[in-house]
Structure 1
Amino acid sequence: MSYVEDVVAGVEQDTKRAVAVYYAIRDGILYDPYSADISVAGLKATTVLEERRGWCVSKAILLAACCRALGIPARLGYADVLNHLSTEKMRQRMKTNVFYWHGYTALYLDDRWVKATPAFNIELCEKFGLKPLEFNGRDDSIYHAFDQAGNRHMEYLHDRGQFLEPPIEAMRRTFDECYPGWPDTSDATEADFGGEVADETATR
């Protein structure tokens, strides 16, 4: 996997390698919830690399795949979260601000499991006024409860556990039940999440 080799070139220790891969994915793969594709092909790490964009689930899968390629044990974690920051178009499409099956990665480093969430790239955080999620390989990296202005950002509602592979069928059932207007593969070619964010935050 040449992508991983390039990212960790010259880095020897596992924790430092995991941190390097985390930041490469956090900022090098743009966060785009319209790219959500709950299928085997859509959730492949190679698909995310090719498209250079992804949502929390697919970016977490890419991080897990890269770390496993380096010999670092990795799991896929999921939780339902209440997201207070989104775009108007996204809220209309989802009909809720609850994000079911939010994805993160659990990595086994220095004899313990730690959580890493490479979802939001730094440019998106700056536009939304969020503190970027840092990862040092020792402490859990999960969404902040508040943004930098003190407004509510993210609330964790329900822990769905950790898996070795994405539970695609369970995710599809939940999406079918909770997001009636959201197909398995969104029309990502027409939607522009980055543009929506730029428009809605321009006057902040």
Structure 2
Amino acid sequence: MEYLESSYFFDFESDAIQELIAEFKDDSLSKKEIAMGMYTKVRDHWKYDPYSISLSKENFRASAIAKNPSGNCVEKSIVLIACLRALGIPARLHLGKVKNHIAAERLIEKFGSNELTPHGMVNVHLNNKWLKMSPAFNKSLCEKFKVEPLEFDGENNSFLQQYNSEGSLFMEYTDDYGHFTDVPLDFMKRNIKEHYPHIFDTDENITEFKL
């Protein structure tokens, strides 16, 4: 299946990814248990950081992201997909657009909008069905903003925190770009530049911008 293959981006043969999955190479674990454990590890091992945008191809490799202390939603999804594929579980990248309603001031200051795009999550294939899961928001961040962390039970979709614990609207999906076998970097570049043109230099050769 194509969703089990390695690629330039999902380079799961790398030492960095093999180290991440080592504890899950256990024949006593079911694929459901592996997916749940791997999801939680990626969710909480990297702090969520939406304020750093890089369009350099090298920075979207799972092995490179794995060495960073933080990552945005797409980056964390790439790592999780690489880990799942390495463990024999089909997985693919799913992209969309979301609107953030809590702690939106800094987003508006940096991006000129409280919409984040492309927002990344993971589709995982378990028990003959595709499930959605989002490893973006680490547990400590959720606690800070009084939002229940997303848990994945291996049986149901887990990708949207619509409200925080006080009942305030937290986030909503406003567009769905569908799923991809590999990282669609050209699409992502066009999408980011279309939505946030003011943060890019007019020179098209500029491919990286740190906020």
Task: Report the TM-score range of the alignment, normalised by the length of the smaller protein.
Answer: 0.7 to 0.9
RMSD over equivalenced CA pairs, Å = 1.6
* 1:101-132 deviations in Å (ceiling 9; x for gaps): 11000000111100110000011001111110
- Distance in 2, Cα, partners of 1:186 & 1:122: 27
Matched with 1:149 is 166
Q: Do the aligned residues in 2 keep the contact of 1:8 with 1:20 (CA within 8 Å)?
A: no
Other-structure match for 1:105: 122
Partner of 1:127: 144
Letter in 2 for 1:88: E
Alignment deviations for residues 117-175 of structure 1 (CA, whole Å, 9 cap, x no partner): 00000110011111100101110011221111111111111110000111111111121
Identity of aligned residues (%): 35
Looking at structure 2, the residues matched to 117 and 72 of structure 1 have their Cα atoms a distance apart, in angstroms, of 16
Q: Which letter does structure 1 place at the counterpart of 2:108?
A: R
Match of 1:47 in 2: 64
1:6 paired residue number:
23
Q: Is there any run of 5+ residues in structure 2 with no aligned partner, and where?
A: 1-17, 201-206
CA-to-aligned-CA distance 1:55-78 (integer Å, 9 cap, x gap): 000101111000000011111001
Q: What is the Cα deviation at residue 181 of structure 1?
A: 3.2
Pairing partner for 1:158 from 153, 175, 189 = 175
C-alpha contact 2:99 2:174 (8 A) present in aligned 1: yes
Question: In structure 2, what is the equivalent of residue 185 of structure 1?
Answer: 208
Aligned to 1:140: 157
Task: State how far apart, in whole Å, the 1-side matches of 2:135 and 2:37 are.
Answer: 11
Residues matched between the structures, number:
188
SS at match of 2:116: strand
Task: Please name the residue that 2:190 is paired with.
Answer: 173
Matched, 1:95 2:112: yes
> CA-to-partner distance for each residue in 1:61-104, whole Å, 9 max, x for gaps?
11100000001111100111111123533321110111111100
Q: 2:52 aligns with which of 31, 35, 57?
A: 35
Distance 2:49 2:58 in 1: 17
Matches of 2:187 and 2:178, distance apart in 1: 12
Taking the aligned partners of 1:185 and 1:129, their CA distance within structure 2 comes to 33
Query: Which residue number corresponds to residue 41 of structure 2?
Result: 24
Q: What amino acid maps onto 1:45 in structure 2?
A: A
Q: Secondary structure of the equivalent of 1:22?
A: helix
Q: 133-142 vs 28-37, which deviates more?
A: 28-37
